[in-house]
Structure 1
Amino acid sequence: MTEPTLYDVVILGTGPGGLQAAIHAARKKAKTLLLGRMDNSSLYWAHVENYCCQLKISGEDILNTGREQAISFGAEIRDEDVLKIESDGSLFSLELESGELITGKTVVIATGSSRNKLKVPGEKELLGKGVSYCVDCDAGFYRNEVVAVTGCRSAAASGAVALTNFASEVHLYCEELDVAEGLITQLKETGVKVHNGSKIQKILGENEVTGVLLEDGSSQNVSGVFIELGAKGVLELTAMLGIQLDESMKYIDADKKQRTNIPGIYAAGDICGPPLQMAKAVGEGCVAGIEAATYAKKLEMD
């Protein structure tokens, strides 16, 4: 069996914080891997006019330029998400959506903070009463129940697979499934019922979730709805490693060197809290990239 590739710095998130971290880590000659899909970044869809020394420019253009810079300094970039992170006390093991395992001496989390909403009737009203945004947090409440997952990317697909360990039946609703072949295989092998081209229009129930109404007018009885739009979020990733959150339980608690409570884990950008601005993300990414690369190099000498 081939040993997983070892990196000095693994960065999650291809927004401004992640890209800046990759640029600085790679410039310090650290073996650097940047993971994530660029269009998951909120900046990708924005237009920027409040960033120092830069006139109005599209977020997409900024990210494309940052990507080119990171590559030019030696960073490797892969357009896929991380499904799982574990630590053996010295190195971090990461499972990618392709099924590949890699290891890192350090990890920088720069995945942003926003929870994408489905924006359908019943979502807000039934939050915590059957509606959840975190499979890893809430799956255990649905043993032997029928549940629905909605989303088209790795968070939804991997979440649906994980739920098969608890629920009696798992339905995945997506307009167009967009995940690696390895995840598609897992969906088939675990018996997830994939409804490609199907969209939830309404979450049904009064005091608790009882079902979902679909775009074609049909319905499905379920007791839980997991909204997993995009990549793994702060709740899932921190739950895996025991990373400390702030008092709001929304953001990672990091110090001025962007260190978390877990040695070797750093955080940068919106995931560290407001102001949710590109300027802050870039600054924190700079610090996180330098600190992570320095820490990884120090491990070599110890």
Structure 2
Amino acid sequence: MDYDIAIIGLGPAGIQAGIHAGRRKNKVIIFGKTSESALNYAHLENYFGFKEKIEGKELLSAGIEQLKKADVTILEEDIIKIEPLEKGFKLITEKEKEITAIALILAMGVKRKKSFFKREKDFIGKGVSYCVDCDAWFYKGKKVIVIGDGSSAIWGAKFLTQFAKEIYFYFSKGELSSEEKKSLEEKGIKILTLKPVEIIGENEVKGVKLEDESILEVDGIFIEQGAKGPLELLAPLGIELDPETFNYVKVDREMKTNVEGIFACGDITGPPFQVAKAVGEGCIAGLSASDYVSKVKRES
């Protein structure tokens, strides 16, 4: 294995887990981008030890320095796929790096989706999908469009080339880098410059209307905004979710999931969405994962 513990999420829960796991002398790697943490754009007034308001980005910056002191490797890339191994896990990053670890800590928060189209919800399961891994097979030999603004969308479009006969791609935020554009075009993916503004169809997707009023006929629309969503990323692993909403990962008091070797902490385990909770759970997850790694090494 490349590492003892891999942590997905560079927010307060993941950072705290990394600090504790690193101080236990594990070989630890953490993935994510502080710019994507909700804390980066917030301030705190009710956090233990601070009498005055503190900016979230200050806490994140201090946490990064603590990770470095604990010899934790920081890789500012999103994870787009997790594969279980016989004893451990393989993680694939947005730049297609492959990294293995004995234990995995999930701390990527929750993905708050915003609709891209007005009638989007009417077509979920009828041509609109949020999970390339789950639904790519249904579009074998068909035409699809991928709409998104992050690594998940780019990876999803490339993955679909194994199934769909024709793929269109619209980058919904800013501009693609020359490297990203080249990597898509090399796969035969057609990049749109005109924004899709409306879904065409009655009972199922027949196409999209572009901002110049032209119609692009497609059979499916994949919407992948931001980093890979936690639930989409975890779907193939068989991780149990809370039985009431199916929006959060179910854990016990040691932050263990139902899958051996996988732990979770922070917003991904459900409300309240507070830094104090995230940090507390991150502490427990880091210690529990460390104990698990020690046990695996003793038994091997």
Measured after TM superposition, the shift of residue 115 of structure 1 is 3.6
Does residue 11 of the first structure (1) align with residue 42 of the second (2)? Answer: no
Measured in 2, the distance between the counterparts of 1:50 and 1:228 equals 34
Measured in 2, the distance between the counterparts of 1:126 and 1:113 equals 23
Alpha carbons 2:168, 2:189 under 8 Å: kept = yes
Alpha carbons 2:94, 2:152 under 8 Å: kept = no
Specify the code of the residue in structure 2 equivalent to 1:256: R
> Quick one: percent identity of the two aligned structures?
46
Q: Residues 234-245 of structure 1: matches in 2 within 5 Å?
A: 234-245=230-241
Deviations 1:31-83 (A, max 9, x none): 11110122222222223333333332332222222112211221111110112
2:264 aligned partner: 267
Does residue 61 of the first structure (1) align with residue 58 of the second (2)? Answer: yes
Alpha carbons 1:109, 1:265 under 8 Å: kept = yes
1:158 aligned partner: 155
2:19 aligned partner: 23
Counterparts in 2 of 1:213 and 1:39: CA distance versus 1, 3 Å: farther
- Please give the root-mean-square deviation of Cα atoms over the aligned residues, in Å: 2.2
Q: What SS does the aligned partner of 2:103 have?
A: strand
Aligned pair count reads: 296
Counterparts in 2 of 1:219 and 1:68: CA distance versus 1, 3 Å: farther
Q: What SS does the aligned partner of 2:255 have?
A: coil
Q: Residues 72-111 of structure 1: matches in 2 within 5 Å?
A: 72-111=69-108
Measured in 1, the distance between the counterparts of 2:23 and 2:127 equals 47
Measured in 2, the distance between the counterparts of 1:224 and 1:160 equals 12
Measured after TM superposition, the shift of residue 17 of structure 1 is 0.9
Measured in 2, the distance between the counterparts of 1:234 and 1:92 equals 16
Does residue 208 of the first structure (1) align with residue 180 of the second (2)? Answer: no
Does residue 127 of the first structure (1) align with residue 124 of the second (2)? Answer: yes
Alpha carbons 1:243, 1:260 under 8 Å: kept = yes
Match of 1:145 among 142, 145, 158: 142
Alpha carbons 1:199, 1:215 under 8 Å: kept = yes
Counterparts in 2 of 1:6 and 1:209: CA distance versus 1, 3 Å: same
Q: What SS does the aligned partner of 1:283 have?
A: helix
Q: What SS does the aligned partner of 2:206 have?
A: strand
Alpha carbons 1:13, 1:37 under 8 Å: kept = yes
Measured in 2, the distance between the counterparts of 1:81 and 1:53 equals 32
Measured after TM superposition, the shift of residue 237 of structure 1 is 2.2
Alpha carbons 1:152, 1:178 under 8 Å: kept = no
Alpha carbons 1:153, 1:177 under 8 Å: kept = no
Q: What SS does the aligned partner of 2:246 have?
A: coil
1:46 aligned partner: 42
Measured after TM superposition, the shift of residue 298 of structure 1 is 2.5
Measured in 2, the distance between the counterparts of 1:12 and 1:19 equals 10
1:167 aligned partner: 164
Match of 1:285 among 282, 287, 290: 282
Measured after TM superposition, the shift of residue 189 of structure 1 is 3.7
- In structure 1, stretches of 5+ residues that fail to align are none
Counterparts in 2 of 1:102 and 1:277: CA distance versus 1, 3 Å: same
Specify the code of the residue in structure 2 equivalent to 1:108: I
Counterparts in 2 of 1:75 and 1:171: CA distance versus 1, 3 Å: same
Does residue 299 of the first structure (1) align with residue 296 of the second (2)? Answer: yes
Measured in 2, the distance between the counterparts of 1:153 and 1:65 equals 26
Measured after TM superposition, the shift of residue 180 of structure 1 is 10
2:252 aligned partner: 255
Specify the code of the residue in structure 1 equivalent to 2:218: V
Q: TM-score scaled to structure 1, two decimals?
A: 0.89
Measured in 2, the distance between the counterparts of 1:172 and 1:116 equals 19
Q: Which moved more, 1:102-111 or 1:57-66?
A: 57-66
Q: What SS does the aligned partner of 1:274 have?
A: coil
Deviations 1:245-282 (A, max 9, x none): 22222111111111111111111111111222222111
Q: Which moved more, 1:255-264 or 1:273-282?
A: 273-282
